[in-house]
Structure 1
Amino acid sequence: MAEFEEEIIIIEDDDVIKSLKQEESDDSDKKKKIIIFSAISAVLIVIIIVTLILIFSSDKKEEVQKYSIDSIEEKLNDNQDKKQNLEMSELENMIAKAAYLYENGSQAKALHLYEKIAQFSESISQYNLGVAQLKNEQYDTALKTFSKAIQNGEKRCVSAINAAVCSLHMNNKKSFDYYINLAYAYLPSENKSPLYSYYYALIQYYKNNYFEALSALNNPTTDEYPNIQKHLKSKINALYNNNFKAIEELEKDYEKEDSLSLGLLYGRIGDIGLAEKYIQEALSNNIEPVKSALALSYIYLKSGRVTSAGKLIQNTTDMFPEEVYKPYPIKVKLKDELFDPEKAQASYKEDIKKSNLIKYHKIFYFSPYKIFNANSTIDYIRKGNTNIYIDNVHSAKNYLKRSKATSSVNKGIVQAIKMALSFDLRDANQKLQNLVNIQPRHSILHYNLALTYAQMGDITNAYQHFLKSYHLDAKNYLSGIYASLCADLLDKDKKRLLNTLKESILLENDSEEIQFYKTLMFISNNNSSSASDWLYHDYKQRPIYLALEAIIADDLNNKAIAKKATTTLSTLFPNDILPQIMYIDTHFNELKPKKYAFEVLKYLKKQNFNYKDLFYGPFITRQLYIQQSLITGNLYFVRKILRDELETTRKNTEELTSALALASLYDKSYEESYVLYNNLIDTLKVRDSYTLFLGAVASTAAGHNANAIALLELSKMKNKTFKQSRYALGLLYLETQNNAGASIQLNMVGDSGFRSKYFTFDIDTDKLYLQKTLGQI
């Protein structure tokens, strides 16, 4: 009997994971019926077995020993063609004997014995014979037997429930509806039975009247079957997302068989520690190993132990290559906080405090471009003239040729810087690329090119050129430090680079510039406390210095200095968007959600933006302004000004298209965003790893998952260490049942607590429903 009790107490996995919203829909009602159908047989088998034993035997072993079965069997064998009355005690013990044989594995003998009993006491034995047939999965035969029991007037209510069970196993909904309604019709005859509340609860549960069922379970007329009743209560509470109540029920008289269900429920409420504990216990006790292993791997994915998840998924797939795809099919989706204004606000505030991506991009935004060293050019000319004088013509020509190229490059650098400072960032970047082809060993040229890449959001190229600049001139410390910031964003090892920089900078005489470099290195190491000295230096109020003050003060929760720094920045750049966003971050961040949105919108409306930085400028401006527009409900206006500019401009449209694609994504115009990103990538040839990733985000939102996979493959090729792309790609491969491909991607993410800002997943209950309908699970 214990075996069948365990079968009912395990809460169905798709029940545990379903959301309340889905379950209240019409389609969900159908799904719940299927779930109910799959559980009903186990519940009623337990009822029948326990009831049978309670009625006919108080101690099976004792009864079997007390009475001799042989003489009764002889009577049955000798009277095949006629009924013979048996003493009730003998009949009861025969039934107990049959039950005992069945429970100890002698099903054939038990069925044979039931059939013989049926010849002498049809009204009682039909019911019990049906129980045995049901347990032996002879559903068609059992249904007929229970039908006879009902006709004979024996245990009509319970027999009708059992007949409904048989109908479920036979996938005969019409028959199920008939017998469950018949059970309800016979229920009044049980009104004096202590088990009335139990029967009532079961029938209401199977009729999808869950609140009525729960009410009966919460106000029982019997203490019988406490284990089954607590699990039914837990199951119903889980159906309605009353997860804490469901957990409370399961933890009463806790049994290890409940470990998987408890783990799933704790995972549902976000208690990852307890979820892992219980699912690990389920695994160690070999409780549904495929389900337990997959559940644990999904817990790992949610908790940032991504590589562990990938390895567990691969091991489970290797051991159970077919079964592994049945229990928990997943559906990849984007996180709610991307689109919900209040959730987006909470996520934004956390990012402002903790995101290195935002901090570093603020630094890049205010970083100075560098002008060429004129003395170097003059030196080349002097050396050329000297060599002419000493008749070394070949060497002189090389020097003079180099000086001419250098002068041309230096002139081009000045022109490119003017473009960048006017927010014609892509034009500046293109000009600097051309200049690098002329003078590939020009340290300042590589620094400026790297800075344009960084401001555009192309961190991979920025890293390469910052590093090249530093290698060409070891005294160009800013290039080396910025290379370390990029390495951090790219998940590259920066330890050796920082150690080299530290050793070199310590050899320099102390100065304002050296203090600036040291402060940047502290930020690169996430060491704001050591960088705090910067807050108390009395240096000239350069934009980059003020930006550092705001970042450090905000990290240290020094609100006064942070507010002062951003106030000065917003005054220096009244028409630029990012300084005003930084002002908002320090002045309004403590406000409650609705008040915050109101004050931010009011503040932004007062500003006189020309929007050139939004249309053609740095990546960080587009990212933060569009997020603020989502929070304040202003996305429609932003999309309008972007469309108007896109329709009238003759300039490069890459940044405009990128901004409109992002705004459309946040405004839930998924198909428009998908088309815009495809145009940006395919036509305008913007193919940095982050743009490719955002294109995949839009593709997923629009339901074009195959396109998302293709873009993510390109994104991780551009940047092999880009965890966002690998994590998303791993999830999408899991969704397509390519566990091998998923494991490869997930194994590259690590176990360091990675959380995707964009992607998450749910259990695909629609697919589970279809699989159950088709009899695949």
Structure 2
Amino acid sequence: MKSLLLLIFFGVVVYANPQLYESQPNIIFKYDTLESKQKATSLEIDFNNAVLFMEQKEYLKAITLFKKTAKILKIPSFLNIGICYYKLESNNNAFLYLKKIYDLKEASKEDVYSYMSASFYLYQLTKDRKYLATITDIATELSSKKFTEDVKRLVADTYIMIKDYEMAIKIIKTMKYIDDLKLALLYISLKNYDMATVHLNGAKEKYGDKVKLNEILWFSIFKNIKSNSLAKLKDDIITLQELKNEFNINRKLPLKVFFNPKKFSAKEYLTKITNFDEKRKIDMIFYFSPFIFIDREEIFNDSVMGYVLKNQENITLIDTMLQYNSFLLTVIKKDPIIRAIELEKDINGKFEKKSYEYYNLGLSYAQIFDYINAYKYFKKAYDLSHSNKLYSSMTLIAAKRAKIKLTKNFETKLRNNLLSKDGDYDYLGKFVYKIIFDKKYQMPEKKPSRTDRKSIFLRSLDFIDKITEQGLNPNATLLDVDVKDPLVYLFRSLTKKELESNYEYISRLQDTLPKEYNDYYLRGPMIITEYYMDVVKALGIFSKVDFNIEGEISPTYFKTKAYVELYKNQPVKSIKILEKLQNEYQLNDKSTTELLIAAFLSANDYSNAMATIGMLQFEQNDDDAKFINGVQLLQNMRLNSVLQFFNSKYDGDMIDFKIEGYEEYLESL
């Protein structure tokens, strides 16, 4: 009896080389019983000659010999015949021989690796994922003895192809040779940037050739862009500047800016809607904040003019102020975008402006996500009435939301004024400060006024203050008393019942969340629409929601419609809607502009996208636009001043960054 072990090695992809080589697993063939020593020797010679012809790419000669050896070595010969035909692009013949192995179910136990290899090639030919499923199914039943290094590598590569990166990592970590670069790219895909850093450093120590080290540097830059690791990114850029003359990986693996409709997973969206970040907390404060109508107290506390009621001129002015109440009551019922436009038109037509008029205008802009204008008018309100603590707090949070860098002197004045004793809206203003700026701040012993205690604003502040620790608490007063408010109704709908499993929770929400009678969520203050969109994405029901409101022509609805068209892969429709909104309503805020940029990118209109990004950076000094332009400078190797573009972390929700060819490179390793 004679036992022979024949090994065939195929090339591994190295992207650094101009030529692209196909990566295939090592193939191990074993046979034990031959009729005689002479036949065994003859078979060994034929088989090895066939292998030699394969290595020399003489595939037809190899096929002739493999057909001869197939009489005894059926499975390995058929596999190699299939591979030869695959190389010759004779796909029908390749499929025929590989399918013969696949149909021999006993081969999945007797010759596991060959059977898996046949399945691997069948997937390459057909793109039918059942062949990949076959590999993973067999792998789950293999004994540790049969789970050889070659089998592990093939199974890991299969998991990579089906994008089950966690399982791929689990398999790779059991191997004797750990491919650090492969692990690093897998961790980047999973957004585990700390582990990606560990393995990129490991890969850097293992490789000596410059091309591979340049690739590792490029992936490190990409990882630091994605993770907002600005200090590490700047270190990598300095290294890149030193290699500029010999670096060309950016041409082979270009860094691209793109619209990413899947930037967040359903799980990440679920976190966003149940545990609010600072941005959403500020937006909620703006949403629940009261518009200020003029009452007796406001009249007597006006800081611009000290009214003497016996003076006929001042009585006339008081009548004018009371007329403002009527005007405001009418205008706040209108669409939020129209509300902001009409309030600004009204205030621009007056010689004497009041602090509350500026405040109401600032609040209107905040509710349509125009934070720069919100800050502008909140500050004007504060300048006219330092005693109003709500004006101070709104000025501070609007600046924070707009990423406006206040001078140290002005910010100190604002905070000192806000935290001083007494003043209008003292309790509410300080409560806002506590939530956003100083969680440990001790609220004053003086209780809020009776009017404040009855307000939805105070209940909302209490809710926002406790959201991080308590989540969407069904016992919160806001969710009980104010359930008629559309945003509060959504919060209440999302509360988890006692003893309810995650599966039951998601299933219930998928069934009960309004998908058709949902007009309140598609127009009005932007936070309602944004939150509703995040909810349907978290539940995976975006495609099942009816976003149409028959006959609706309000600008906030059309902005929602532009968003929906973009996420339905209709960017041209989205662009037309947004450009019309900008022309008719002068919507040049960051939120609308980012949506337009995303639509341009989705429509592959890269020139207009980058031009709009440049305009956003120039006109609004926007940090996110600056970051995106910095990425473009990196790709184009314009490195002289690029470091200054990465002084603030990127915060965009729709526009993302990728390396073209990333997945192909990963699959090739």
User: Does 2:229 match 1:275?
Assistant: no
2:254/2:635 contact within 8 Å kept? no
Q: 1:336 to 1:505 in 2, by over 3 A?
A: closer
- Mapping 1:575-594, distance limit 5 Å: 576-581=485-490, 583-584=492-493, 592-594=505-507
Counterpart in 1 of 2:168? 246
1:664/1:673 contact within 8 Å kept? yes
Counterpart in 2 of 1:255? 177
Alignment partners' CA distance in 2, 1:511 and 1:211: 69
Counterpart in 2 of 1:676? 577
Counterpart in 1 of 2:455? 542
- Mapping 1:26-175, distance limit 5 Å: 38-40=22-24, 43=26, 131=52, 139=56, 172-174=88-90
Q: 1:687 aligns with which of 583, 588, 591?
A: 588
Counterpart in 2 of 1:292? 216
2:219 alignment partner, SS class: helix
Q: 2:525 aligns with which of 604, 609, 618?
A: 618
Q: 2:279 aligns with which of 356, 365, 381?
A: 356
Q: Which amino acid aligns with 1:369?
A: I
Q: 1:595 aligns with which of 477, 485, 508?
A: 508
Counterpart in 2 of 1:346? 270
Q: Which amino acid aligns with 2:89?
A: K
Alignment partners' CA distance in 2, 1:149 and 1:633: 57
Greater helix content? 1
- Mapping 1:686-705, distance limit 5 Å: 686-701=587-602, 704=605
Two-structure CA RMSD over aligned residues (Å): 5.9
Alignment partners' CA distance in 2, 1:564 and 1:166: 72
Q: Which amino acid aligns with 2:277?
A: K
What is the CA distance between 1:551 and its match in structure 2?
1.7
Q: Which amino acid aligns with 2:486?
A: I
Q: Which amino acid aligns with 1:255?
A: Y
2:587 alignment partner, SS class: coil
- Which structure 1 segments of 5+ residues have no match? 14-33, 52-120, 386-399, 647-652
What is the CA distance between 1:261 and its match in structure 2?
1.4
- Which structure 2 segments of 5+ residues have no match? 1-6, 32-41, 124-130
Q: Which amino acid aligns with 1:418?
A: L
Q: 1:665 to 1:522 in 2, by over 3 A?
A: same
Counterpart in 1 of 2:35? none
Q: 1:422 aligns with which of 333, 343, 366?
A: 333
Q: 1:522 aligns with which of 434, 437, 445?
A: 434
Q: 1:417 to 1:264 in 2, by over 3 A?
A: same
Alignment partners' CA distance in 1, 2:349 and 2:613: 30
Alignment partners' CA distance in 2, 1:639 and 1:240: 33
1:368 alignment partner, SS class: coil
Q: 2:250 aligns with which of 300, 321, 324?
A: 324
Q: 1:236 aligns with which of 143, 151, 158?
A: 158
What is the CA distance between 1:679 and its match in structure 2?
1.8
Counterpart in 2 of 1:488? 400
Q: 1:727 to 1:760 in 2, by over 3 A?
A: same
Alignment partners' CA distance in 1, 2:304 and 2:595: 44
1:645 alignment partner, SS class: coil
User: Does 2:485 match 1:563?
Assistant: no
Alignment partners' CA distance in 2, 1:311 and 1:684: 44
1:127/1:145 contact within 8 Å kept? no
Q: 1:361 to 1:267 in 2, by over 3 A?
A: same
Q: Which amino acid aligns with 1:323?
A: I
2:370/2:590 contact within 8 Å kept? yes
Alignment partners' CA distance in 2, 1:559 and 1:455: 22
1:160/1:183 contact within 8 Å kept? yes
Counterpart in 2 of 1:396? none
Q: 1:281 to 1:149 in 2, by over 3 A?
A: same
Counterpart in 2 of 1:464? 376
Q: 1:714 aligns with which of 609, 615, 629?
A: 615
Alignment partners' CA distance in 1, 2:161 and 2:404: 45
What is the aligned residue count?
Answer: 621
Alignment partners' CA distance in 2, 1:688 and 1:151: 70
Per-residue Cα deviation, 1:120-151 (whole angstroms, up to 9, x for no partner): x9x969967985x987xxx56x6698689779
Alignment partners' CA distance in 2, 1:184 and 1:578: 57
2:224/2:230 contact within 8 Å kept? yes
2:576 alignment partner, SS class: helix
Counterpart in 1 of 2:4? none
Counterpart in 2 of 1:758? 654
1:332 alignment partner, SS class: strand
Q: 1:699 to 1:435 in 2, by over 3 A?
A: same
2:359/2:381 contact within 8 Å kept? yes
2:494/2:509 contact within 8 Å kept? no
Q: Which amino acid aligns with 2:250?
A: V
Per-residue Cα deviation, 1:689-742 (whole angstroms, up to 9, x for no partner): 11111223344455655544444443344433353x5566777x59xx944589
Alignment partners' CA distance in 2, 1:680 and 1:688: 11
Q: 1:293 to 1:378 in 2, by over 3 A?
A: closer
Q: 1:749 to 1:447 in 2, by over 3 A?
A: farther
Q: 1:441 to 1:533 in 2, by over 3 A?
A: closer
What is the CA distance between 1:481 and its match in structure 2?
1.8
Q: 1:281 to 1:503 in 2, by over 3 A?
A: same
Instruction: Name which one, 1 or 2, has greater alpha-carbon Rg.
Output: 1
Percent of paired sites with the same residue: 15
Q: 1:367 to 1:589 in 2, by over 3 A?
A: farther
Alignment partners' CA distance in 2, 1:578 and 1:224: 57
When normalised by structure 2's length, the TM-score is: 0.70
Q: 1:408 to 1:246 in 2, by over 3 A?
A: same
- Mapping 1:16-31, distance limit 5 Å: none
Q: Which amino acid aligns with 1:504?
A: N
Alignment partners' CA distance in 1, 2:472 and 2:144: 63
Q: 1:302 to 1:126 in 2, by over 3 A?
A: same
What is the CA distance between 1:459 and its match in structure 2?
0.5
Alignment partners' CA distance in 2, 1:660 and 1:535: 47
Alignment partners' CA distance in 2, 1:165 and 1:561: 62
When normalised by structure 1's length, the TM-score is: 0.62
What is the CA distance between 1:361 and its match in structure 2?
3.9
What is the CA distance between 1:38 and its match in structure 2?
0.8
Alignment partners' CA distance in 1, 2:469 and 2:663: 49
Per-residue Cα deviation, 1:3-24 (whole angstroms, up to 9, x for no partner): x9998677999xxxxxxxxxxx
What is the CA distance between 1:620 and its match in structure 2?
2.6
1:252 alignment partner, SS class: coil
Q: 1:148 to 1:693 in 2, by over 3 A?
A: closer
